[in-house]
Structure 1
Amino acid sequence: MLIKTYTQELSVCKVQNISQVDFSDKFCFLGKTHEEISLVCLTNKVPENVTQRDDGWKMFRIEGELDFSLIGILSEISAILAENEIGIFALSTYNTDYILTKSTNYEKALSCLKNSGYQIKC
């Protein structure tokens, strides 16, 4: 399985509303429930109306489109990282999964995945 890396610094935030979210940016992920609106975006694009934020994240994704019948991909990756004491913040889209780790653990995470047989693409 191929892992695509991204070098941009990301932030995980809670926002009051979406009025200041820059949807035209390269990467922007929004999740809304009855309790909150969560935003993952480039750190330099964090809107002013955040109520909470956590900076210092980097991301990689599983390359290609994943069929819904595939089982356990995210589970396997999270287990490898958990065994190495690396926390994650996972995002799923229709096509694939994105995994964020704190920047301080990013290179270690990629190394652990490579040692487990994953191919890493920069």
Structure 2
Amino acid sequence: MELKRIDKDFTVCKVENLEQVNMKRDFIFVSKTDEEISVVCETRDVPENTTERSDGFKAFRIEGKLDFTLIGILSKISTALAKNNIGIFAISTYNTDYILVKKEDFEKAAEVLDEKGYRITG
């Protein structure tokens, strides 16, 4: 399986509403529940109405379109990283999954995943 490095800095944040989220940017992930609205975006694009934030993430994208019948992809990746004390923030889209790790763990994560047989590009 191929993972692509996304050469961007990301922030996970909580916002008051979506009014200041720039949906024209390439990387905007939005989650809304009855308790909160969360946004993951490039750090340079953090909305001004952010109430909480965690900076310093880098990302890998699982390349290709993942079929919904595939099982255990994120589990295998998260287990390999967890065994090396690397936490993740996972995001799933219709086509694929993104794995965010803290910037200081990014190169180690790439090494661990490479050792597990994942092809790292980008």
TM-score by length of 1: 0.99
Tell whether 2:26 aligns with 1:6.
Answer: no
Distance 1:53 1:78 in 2: 22
Matched with 2:31 is: 31
1:56-99 Cα distance to aligned partner (Å, 9 max, x none): 00000110000000000000000000000000000001111100
Tell whether 2:118 aligns with 1:118.
Answer: yes
Matched with 2:109 is: 109
Deviation of residue 49 (structure 1)? 0.2
| 3-state SS of 1:91 partner | strand
CA RMSD of aligned residues (A): 0.5
Matched with 2:58 is: 58
| 3-state SS of 1:44 partner | helix
Distance 2:67 2:44 in 1: 33
Matched with 1:97 is: 97
Distance 1:76 1:117 in 2: 11
TM-score by length of 2: 0.99
Matched with 1:22 is: 22
Tell me how many residue pairs correspond in the alignment.
Answer: 122
| 3-state SS of 1:90 partner | strand
5 Å-filtered alignment, 1:57-76, equals 57-76=57-76
The gaps in structure 2 that reach 5 residues or longer are none
Distance 1:69 1:43 in 2: 33
Deviating runs (4+, > 3 A) in structure 1? none
| 3-state SS of 2:8 partner | coil
Distance 2:46 2:118 in 1: 32
Corresponding letter in the other structure for 1:51: T
Corresponding letter in the other structure for 2:34: H
